[in-house]
Amino acid sequence: MSESDDDRRRAWFRREVLPLEPELHAFAERLARPGQTEAADLVNDVMVAMIRLENWRAIDCPASYAKRVLRNLAAEAARRSKIVRFGGASEDDVLALIDDAPDAEAVMISRDELRRLQQVVASMPEPMRRTFTLRKVYGLSPPQIAEQLGMSISSIEKYLTKGLRLCSERLAREPVRQVRNGVGNSWGKARDRDGNW
């Protein structure tokens, strides 16, 4: 990463993420349970994850992303503790920690994959693109597509086969970019010896 990109990331962190600290701390207080990670530790881990994000530009809403990271960290701490104290937490509180939705990283990766697929489909020759879109997006059967486009069913099936092969070949060439965030380190380790980020 060039010096200017690193500076922009740090400026983004100071502008967008640091002001969220009180809100994140209040949220962490509601999620933290006795015998598990302290709320301040959770917030520190979130801050470390946010400052280390390589794909920070892709985050539309830093507050939502940070809360999702915090919720996932709290759930991970609950799993690690392996101690369930039902006296201190209601069933609703315990169920609130369980998050079946994909985390922000998975959403970003899925969006990237979808963007790549859209580019591949857009690069297809016109009859193949129309055939592929009618089948895979609109769910029409080959006979329905053949009738709509005025083509033979065998032509439609050939376009579909070639379209699938083209997608799998092009998508296999370029690996999915992973979001790495360094969760789990202490807040102080994100700074260098001079106190800089």
* Confidence bin at 189 (pLDDT 50/70/90): very low
pLDDT one-digit tens code per residue, 16-42: 888 888 888 888 888 776 655 688 888
| Amino acid at site 10 | R
DSSP code for 178: P
Q: State the pTM of this model.
A: 0.41
Residues 113-134: what's their mean pLDDT? 90
What is d(CA 130, CA 112) in angstroms, rounded to the nearest whole number?
23
What is d(CA 183, CA 73) in angstroms, rounded to the nearest whole number?
8
Domain boundaries of the chain, sorted by first residue: 3-100, 109-173
CA–chain centroid gap for 176, Å, is 12
CATH 1.10.10.10 for the 109-173 domain, yes or no: yes
The region of weakest confidence among 26-40, 74-88, 126-140 is: 74-88
